[in-house]
Amino acid sequence: MTGPSLDCIIRAIQYTEPKMLTLKQWMEVVGYRITEGSEYGWNCYGHKAYMLDSWNGEQDGHSLTIIFDTDTQMVYEVQAHDYVHNRAYRMINPLYKDAHSKKAKEMGYFSDMAWDEVSYTDLEVDEDWLDKATAIVAGGDYDTRVSIPLDFTDEELLKYMTMAHERDMTFNQFVEEALKQAIEEHKRDPEAMRLKAEQWKKDHTQSY
């Protein structure tokens, strides 16, 4: 069985900017239970950034955090901490990722550090964070894999679904295989993969 085409692999990793959660959505996940609040200490999100925490009060429990703008209600960052399994998930507003990383470097912090030896897993899809956070609060099981937002045209979607069918694979399996191949190729020759992706993007810019 041959793997998905390179065209599909490159297309699969060209994704659109995800939506960001709202303050209301975060409040609903924590059941409107706030245990702490304070001004956000770093200025990477501006001077109106405020942080709210919701902790269930147990050391082996969970806590959720949101950082938002008190004027515009824009959400800059959400965090979900699963102390039972030592996992931490985070989603940063894509407009402020660079600013956050730059500030962390200035402060001498590892930008992905959650606590002790636990690092944040950065999520790209709002539904992914919501699903994980909701399960963490409920004490249930959840998928630890990370969702990736893909941007296909109807023509491309039909093409790739047909290719998946021809290989006796589900569409999700097909895309996962394509991403695995992309990762492996990037490991072997990251510069060549970058150039291929840039060339693909250049060739298809007129189409989008």
Residue 179 pLDDT class (50, 70, 90 cuts): confident
pLDDT in tens, 17-29: 457 999 999 999 9
Maximum average pLDDT range among 8-12, 78-82, 183-187, 190-194: 78-82
204's CB contacts (< 8 A; 6+ apart) are none
Three-state secondary structure call for residue 85:
coil
Amino acid at 162: T
Element (H, E) at 174: helix 171-188
∠ CA 84-90-92, nearest 5°, is: 170
Give me the chain's average pLDDT, please.
85
Q: Give every CB contact of residue 162 below 8 A, 6+ residues apart in sequence.
A: none
Over 70: is that where the pLDDT of 68 sits?
Answer: yes
Lowest mean pLDDT among 47-51, 79-83, 166-170, 200-204: 200-204
Q: What separation in angstroms does the CA of 141 have from each of 59, 82, 131, 134, 186?
A: 19, 11, 10, 10, 32
Give the Cα separation of 183 and 25 in Å (integer): 33
Q: Where are the domains of the chain?
A: 6-16+149-207, 23-138
- Whether 140 shows a pLDDT value over 80: the answer reads yes
Residues 76-135: tens digit of each pLDDT? 999 999 999 999 999 999 999 999 999 998 988 888 899 988 999 999 889 999 999 999
Q: Read off the pTM.
A: 0.73
Give the dihedral sign, CA 181/182/186/187. negative
Residue 82 neighbours by CB distance under 10 Å: 22
pLDDT at 78: 98
pLDDT of residue 12 exceeding 70 = no
Q: State how far the Cα of 102 lies from the Cα of 99, in Å rounded to an integer.
A: 5
pLDDT for residue 6 is more than 90: no
Mean pLDDT of 40-60: 95
Q: How far is CA 183 from the centre of its chain?
A: 17
pLDDT given for residue 102 in this prediction: 92
Q: Side by side, which strands form the sheet with 118-122?
A: 36-39, 49-55, 62-69, 75-82, 87-92, 118-122, 113-115
Q: Read off the pLDDT band of 198 (50, 70, 90).
A: confident
pLDDT of residue 1 exceeding 90: no
Confidence of residue 13 (pLDDT cuts 50, 70, 90): very low
